[in-house]
Amino acid sequence: MHSAVVAKEGSENFEIASERTLYPYVTGTSVIGIKYKDGILMTADMGGSYGSTLRYKSVERLKPVGKHSLLGASGEISDFQEILRYLDELILYDNMWDDGNSLGPKEVHNYLNRVMYNRRNKFNPLWNSLVLGGVKNGQKYLGTVSMIGVHFEDNHVATGFGNHLARPILRDEWHEDMSFEEAVKLLEKCMLVLLYRDRSAINKLQIAKITEEGVTIFEPYSLKTFWKFSAFHNPTKGAEGSW
């Protein structure tokens, strides 16, 4: 994960052997998170793209962090695994104090902000966009951080294509006292919009929730799709001069 400088014997020339992630290889697409009446809901599909090929169809990108937080990631899967190792060490170190306290979602989000920004400053970024949500002491928290350390909190957040196509739907239809069922339907609507427009998306998705009681990651399931729209059959109709 670092760059090594190697000098050739008897020469003033240097070779730079790069050992860091220069290009993302296996990647996941959008993650969407929203607040609802009892806590936080998050969803992501289970596709893993090898370049432009949808190679893997059972990649889990929603993971619990400690007692109070839930993390979702889009982008490079191996870098996400590296982030999970960082968080395992953080939670273990926190537990070693044995002081009856535990890290909340705000603290974990701040930690991720620093990690992503630090790696960006070393020109060795982790190629991920992250969504971090949680509940502690009755307070709901939801935030996001990009691969260069740009971060913010909101009532609903999304990464990737979701930030462009799902956020307008969420702005129109989200409200603070949504029930679990209403929130799931809204997330499914957003994921269906993404499925029809994002070539890297698949219809197999996972939903996770976090409340005061803890994290629940539900079994994967598939959205029903409809591909008989006339625009799908003749996508170039009316496009004069197209190929």
The residues facing 97 across adjacent strands are none
Euclidean distance between CA atoms 33 and 48, whole angstroms: 19
- Distances, alpha carbon 72 to alpha carbons 31, 65, 75, 110, 207, in Å: 6, 10, 10, 15, 10
CB-based contacts of 129, cutoff 8 Å, min separation 6: 31, 73, 74, 75, 144, 145, 146, 147, 159, 160
Q: How far is CA 186 from CA 11, 79, 183, in A?
A: 63, 29, 5
Tell me, rounded to whole angstroms, the distance of Cα 57 from its chain centroid: 16
Q: Phi/psi class of residue 94: alpha, beta or left (left: φ > 0; alpha: ψ in -120 to 50)?
A: alpha
- In the residue annotation, 21 being an active-site residue is answered as yes
Run of H or E residues at 137: none
- Compute the distance between CA of residue 223 and CA of residue 212 in angstroms, rounded to an integer: 28
Tell me 57's DSSP state.
S
Buried residues in 17-32 as b, exposed as e (16+ CB within 10 A): eeeebeebebbbbbbb
d(CA 109, CA 144): 8
Which position among 21, 43, 216, 236 bears the catalytic label?
A: 21
Q: Catalytic site residues?
A: 21
